[in-house]
Chains A and B, each alone.
Chain A
Amino acid sequence: DGGITQSPKYLFRKEGQNVTLSCEQNLNHDAMYWYRQDPGQGLRLIYYSQIVNDFQKGDIAEGYSVSREKKESFPLTVTSAQKNPTAFYLCASSETGGPQPQHFGDGTRLSIL
């Protein structure tokens, strides 16, 4: 079955440490996205990519970095510069060209030790 796989499901970070969240899709979608979800807040866009080797900052990109070296993969690194990283992180993909539904993974919950 086609879909989006995020790993790990749960992740713990020590202070001052960078961590990388994995996102892989086999839907052959060009566009991929990273969102952060906090209690009582909507999904907020961190980064998005419309094509391989290209990505743009979303509303809350500070303290995060991404790469898009392959169409199937869009890893997110939460750096030590992100002072409040505890959240539920969601990866999504979609086709491009007009309004397209976004297909989401089941998220990674990041906590600080």
Chain B
Amino acid sequence: SQKIEQNSEALNIQEGKTATLTCNYTNYSPAYLQWYRQDPGRGPVFLLLIRENEKEKRKERLKVTFDTTLKQSLFHITASQPADSATYLCALDINTGNQFYFGTGTSLTVIP
């Protein structure tokens, strides 16, 4: 069965530094991968989508990479701010329409 692993531990970083979150997957070859942000008690909010033929995608302070050989996506937040503190989820499509498998998420805390 498909397995998606994100950073198993919560990630704490100092304000201004770059946060790097990892999404690894096995037993699957997704064509698309998405990243979402989730705040406590709220629904996830879409951030970025990257296709398998795209190595890198950027949006403001966010950067996502997608390495289909390593079966890994990295999510970077540069110049991190306390307001970036949240849980970040990766999601892989399963090629049957608009369905996605979600990872467990990584909790990020940016320390002032």
A31 (CB) vs chain B CBs: closest residue: B98
Q: Is A73 an interface residue (CB 8 A)?
A: no
Q: Is B19 an interface residue (CB 8 A)?
A: no
Is the beta-carbon distance between A50 and B97 smaller than 8 angstroms?
Answer: yes
Given contacts A104-B45, A105-B43, A106-B42, contact A45 B104 (CB under 8 A): no
Pair count A-B, CB < 8 A = 60
Contact-residue size bin, chain B (C-beta under 8 Å from the other chain)? 20 to 34
Chain A residues contacting B101 (CB-CB under 8 Å) are: 42
Alpha-carbon distance between A107 and B105 when the two chains are bound, in angstroms: 17
How does the 8 Å CB contact mask read for A29-66 relative to B, with 1 for contact and 0 for none? 00101010000111111001010000000100000000
Alpha-carbon distance between A6 and B42 when the two chains are bound, in angstroms: 11
Is the beta-carbon distance between A94 and B103 smaller than 8 angstroms?
Answer: no
Interface size on A, residues (CB 8 A): 27
Is the beta-carbon distance between A99 and B31 smaller than 8 angstroms?
Answer: yes
Is the beta-carbon distance between A42 and B98 smaller than 8 angstroms?
Answer: no
Is the beta-carbon distance between A106 and B97 smaller than 8 angstroms?
Answer: no
Contact residues of B: prevailing secondary structure: strand
Give the Cβ gap from B70 to chain A, nearest Cβ, in Å.
20
How does the 8 Å CB contact mask read for A83-113 relative to B, with 1 for contact and 0 for none? 0000000101010100111111111000000
Chain A residues contacting B4 (CB-CB under 8 Å) are: 42
Is the beta-carbon distance between A42 and B46 smaller than 8 angstroms?
Answer: no
Is the beta-carbon distance between B42 and A43 smaller than 8 angstroms?
Answer: no
Is the beta-carbon distance between B43 and A42 smaller than 8 angstroms?
Answer: no
Is the beta-carbon distance between A96 and B41 smaller than 8 angstroms?
Answer: no
Is the beta-carbon distance between B104 and A107 smaller than 8 angstroms?
Answer: no
The residues of B with any CB-CB pair to A shorter than 8 Å are 4, 31-32, 34, 41-46, 49, 51, 89, 91, 93, 97-105
